[in-house]
Amino acid sequence: MNSATHTTPLRTQAKFTGVSLTRVLPLILTVVLIFTYLTLPWVNQPGLGATTAGLLTAARANNEIGVMTNGLALVPLGALLAGLAGVWALVSPKSDRAAGLLAAVGGGFGLQSFVIAFSDAGAEGLDLAAAAGMGFWLSLILSALLIVQAFVPRPAGQTPLGKTFGNQEAVLGMALMLLVLLVGLANPRFVAERNLSDVLQGNAYIAVAAVGMALVIISGNIDISVGSLVGVLATISGSIAVAKAPDGTPALPVEGLIALAWIMPIFIGGLAGALNGFLVAYLKIPSIIVTLGMLSILQGGLIMVTKGNWIDKLPPGYALAQMRPLGIPMPIVFMVVMTIGGVLFLKYTPMGRSLYAVGGNKEAARLSGISERRVVMSAFIGNGMIVGVASILYATQLSVIQSTVPPNLELLIITAAVVGGISILGGTGSVFGAALAAILLNAIRSSMVFINVSPFWLQSVQGILVLLTVLADLLRRRRQL
C-alpha cells in the first residue's frame, strides 16, 4: 500500500454500532408519546377554552376510558420516561445522537403537558390556548436547539449537553424563553404584545453600547465612564437639535440641523474615547483609574451645563428611535446591524483580531509586531463613537432629553457585554450574545414589576448575574488549562 497517496479519512461523526435496547427504547417511547398526544382532544380543539380538568370530567361522565387514560396516565408518564431517556442521552457522550434528540423532543411534549396541567390547577381565567401555544413553541424551539447542537461536531468526550450549555448564546436564549414562559404564566399581562415589544426595544441602546464596550474589554481594559458619556452626548445632540440663531429662529434648515444633531455625538464621543485612549495607551495610566476620573468629570460637567434642566420642544423628524424603516422599529435595526457589524469586525478584520491578541497576551502581541498603543487607542476611539450612536438612540426614545441617565448605566452596559459572552479578563469573547443579554436584562427588570418583586432589588440581581457569568468563565478557563 502506498501510504503517500492513501490517507485515512478523519472520523468526526459517531459511528452507528448496531441496535440495542438502550438505543431503541427512547425512540419507541417518543413515537408512542407523540401519537397519543396528537389524538388528545385539547390539541384538536385549541381555541375552545376547555380545560384539562373539564375535559377529563366530561370524559368520565361519558365513560370515555380512552381519553381518561390518555390524559391522566399515558401522556404524562410516557413523556416523563422519554424525557429522562433524552436527558440521559444528552449527558452521556456514548449514546446514539438520533435517539437522544428524539427523546428530548418527546420530553418537550411532556413539558408542555405539565405546563398545561399546572396552569389549569393554578391561575384562573388563564387562556388555555395561550399556555398550550407557549408550551408547544418552547418545546419545539428547545428541541430544534438540541438537534442543531447534537449534529455540530464536538471534541471527543464532550457531551451534547456540554456543547449546548457551553454555548453562551444558547444559554441566554433558553434563559430568556424560560423567563418569558414562567412570568407569562404567573401574570399573562407580561406577554401582551405592547410589553414584549417594549422589552425587546427598551435596552437596544445598551446592546449597541455593549458592542463598543466589548472592544475595550477584549483588549484587556475597562471603561466605567460610558454611562456619563451617554448622558453628555445625548444632551449635546439635543442642544444642537433645538439650537436657535440669535434672532430666535432655528439656526439651520431643520433637516440639516437634525443630521448634525445625529453626527456630532458620534464625533465627540470619538474625541472623548481618544482622550481616554491616550491616557491609557500612551501615558500608561490603568484604564480603571482613567475612566473613574473621567466618570466624575463627565458627571459633574453634565450637571454644570444642563443645571438639571431637561431639553424639550425637540423638532419633528429628530426622533430617530421612534422611526420604523420597513416597519421594523429603529432600535432593533440598530441593535442587529451593530451586533452583526461588531461580530464581523472582531472576527475578520486585522484590527479586530489584534484586539484579541493584545488582550490575550500583551507580550506575544508585541513580539508579533502589533503596536499595543495603537490597538488600545483604536479600541477606545471605537468605543467612544459607538457610545455616540447609542446616545442618539437613548436621547430619542422619549420626546424630551433628560439631564440624567439611569443610575449605574455603565454597570448595565458592562453586564450586557459580560453576560453576553465577552470575557472580562480580556482576550476572548463574542458580541453576539450582548444583544440577547441586553434583552434578558430588560426582561428581568420588567418581569419584576409583573410578579410583584420590588424593583429596588434589580441592582442586586444584575450584580449577581455578572458575578455568576464571571465565575463560569473562570471555571471554564481553569478547566482548559
Binding residues for another protein, rule: CB under 8 A, are 222, 224, 279, 283-286, 288-290, 292-297, 299-301, 303-304, 408, 411, 414-415, 424-425, 454, 456-464, 466-467, 470-471, 474
Measured from the CB atom, is 228 or 397 closer to another protein?
A: 228
In the complex, least distance from residue 457 CB atom to another protein, rounded to whole angstroms: 4
In the complex, least distance from residue 307 CB atom to another protein, rounded to whole angstroms: 9
In the complex, least distance from residue 443 CB atom to another protein, rounded to whole angstroms: 18
Residues 236, 292, 410: CA angle, nearest 5 degrees: 60
In the complex, least distance from residue 479 CB atom to another protein, rounded to whole angstroms: 13
Measured from the CB atom, is 65 or 289 closer to another protein?
A: 289
Measured from the CB atom, is 200 or 295 closer to another protein?
A: 295
Measured from the CB atom, is 257 or 379 closer to another protein?
A: 379
In the complex, least distance from residue 279 CB atom to another protein, rounded to whole angstroms: 7
Measured from the CB atom, is 254 or 474 closer to another protein?
A: 474
In the complex, least distance from residue 215 CB atom to another protein, rounded to whole angstroms: 18
In the complex, least distance from residue 371 CB atom to another protein, rounded to whole angstroms: 15
Measured from the CB atom, is 196 or 411 closer to another protein?
A: 411
CB within 8 Å of 99: residues ≥ 6 apart: 23, 24, 26, 27, 85, 89
Measured from the CB atom, is 257 or 434 closer to another protein?
A: 434
